[in-house]
Amino acid sequence: MKLNFLSNSCSFPLIGFFTAKKFKTNNSLKNSNVFNLGEVIITNHQNKDTLNRITSKSMESQNKMDVSRALNMLPGVSLTASGPRNESMVSVRGFDLRQVPVYMDGIPVYVPYDGYVDLARFTTFDLAAIDVSKGFSSVLYGPNSLGGAINLVSRKPSKKLEYDGSLGMINENGYRGNVNIGSNLGKFYFQGGFSYLDRNSTRMSSNFVPTVNENGGQRDNSYRTDQKISFKIGWTPNEKSEYAIGYINQQGEKGNPVYAGYDTQNSLLLRPRFWQWPNWDKESFYFISNSAFDDKNSFKTRFVF
């Protein structure tokens, strides 16, 4: 079975005018490496931060290598493995991903088949933060955000040259590696990243009793491979205006572990599914801009090609 997700049409998810009063920014949103143009921030007259944010520092310290695991750190967010495809999803206060859409720098991430995005396919190595709006979300996100919104915010360099990377093992049968490099030259900046995550299988508990379809040890058909390339070029003619072009290429494959239970009423016990997805690919080009007319009015656009 093959899944190919390719964004090759031109859409206009957001074109709008903004009029805002001057408020002091909440401390939880101050981060020099956050790509501010990709944020969607909601403030009220009491100047309270309405976002739940997971920073890159928290994800790294907790060893959260994909978005689904990182979101599980927030209260009110539950991690689930849903459907026959065994995809990693989350529910936000009981709402699933069809009522809590996923965005990348404010750009909607769509899966045409059924609307469910496999969050395990999105690695965290090139992210500056993950913002989650629970219940109350901005109309700037667009439709289908009844239960909130999840926005993956990429990095933006703050120094003339900055880079980081890592390489490591995952148990005894997998490895991970990533590198990020960026440069801020004043009015121009660029940010690029590459990550690779590979795991042959997951290990079963030592107390697991073998069944007809699973003999224990390394779980059968539980492999995964995810590769991601991202690149962004930006221009900031002044302090209040910014224009950026971004590119994201994701290539992944995975296997679906077979049913390992004992329920005789479950049809998967006698007819196990050794499903595999050799292609979980997604490619996106996007343009984001924010043109300030004065201190209170601006014109913001997001285009996906």
pLDDT surpasses 60 at 2: no
pTM: 0.81
Query: Which pLDDT band, with edges at 50, 70 and 90, does 16 fall under?
Result: low
pLDDT in the model for residue 44: 54
CA distance 106 to 39: 6
Query: Which pLDDT band, with edges at 50, 70 and 90, does 4 fall under?
Result: very low
| Mean pLDDT value of segment 19-48 | 58
| Mean pLDDT value of segment 48-70 | 87
How many Å from the N-terminal Cα to the C-terminal Cα in the chain?
27
User: Considering only CA atoms, which of 98, 90, 155 is closest in space to residue 120?
Assistant: 90
pLDDT surpasses 90 at 31: no
Strand order in the sheet with 107-108: 52-55, 127-134, 148-154, 102-104, 107-108
- In b/e form, how buried is each residue of 158-169, taking b as 16+ CB within 10 angstroms? eeeeeeeeeeee
More confident residue, 146 or 127: 127
Question: The tokens of 193 are what?
Answer: 């990243």
| Mean pLDDT value of segment 289-301 | 89
pLDDT in the model for residue 32: 65
What average pLDDT does the chain have? 84
pLDDT surpasses 80 at 83: no
Question: The tokens of 264 are what?
Answer: 């005789």
CA distance 219 to 221: 7
- Residue 5 amino acid letter: F
The angle formed by the CA atoms of residues 100, 101 and 106, to the nearest 5 degrees, is 130
Question: The tokens of 242 are what?
Answer: 């910014």
- Residue 132 amino acid letter: V
Residue 242, helix vs strand vs coil: strand
pLDDT surpasses 50 at 278: yes
Give percent above pLDDT 90 in the chain: 46
CA distance 70 to 88: 12
Query: Which of 33-37, 147-151, 240-244, 260-264 comes out lowest in average pLDDT?
Result: 33-37
Give percent above pLDDT 70 in the chain: 85
pLDDT surpasses 70 at 247: yes
- In b/e form, how buried is each residue of 79-105, taking b as 16+ CB within 10 angstroms? beeeeebbbbbbbbeebebebbbbbbb
- DSSP character at residue 191: E
pLDDT surpasses 50 at 232: yes
pLDDT surpasses 80 at 143: no
Question: The tokens of 159 are what?
Answer: 């120094």
Strand partners, 180: 164, 193
pLDDT surpasses 80 at 117: yes
Q: Cβ(234)–Cβ(189) under 8 Å?
A: yes
pLDDT surpasses 90 at 46: no
- Residue 179 amino acid letter: V
Here the contacts of 91-98 (C-beta below 8 Å, separation 24 or greater) are 92/132, 92/134, 92/147, 92/148, 92/150, 93/134, 93/135, 93/147, 93/148, 94/147, 95/146, 95/147, 95/148, 96/147, 98/144
pLDDT surpasses 80 at 118: yes
Whole-angstrom CA distances from 106 to 39, 89, 287 are 6, 19, 11
- Highest-scoring range by mean pLDDT, 20-29, 46-55, 167-176: 167-176
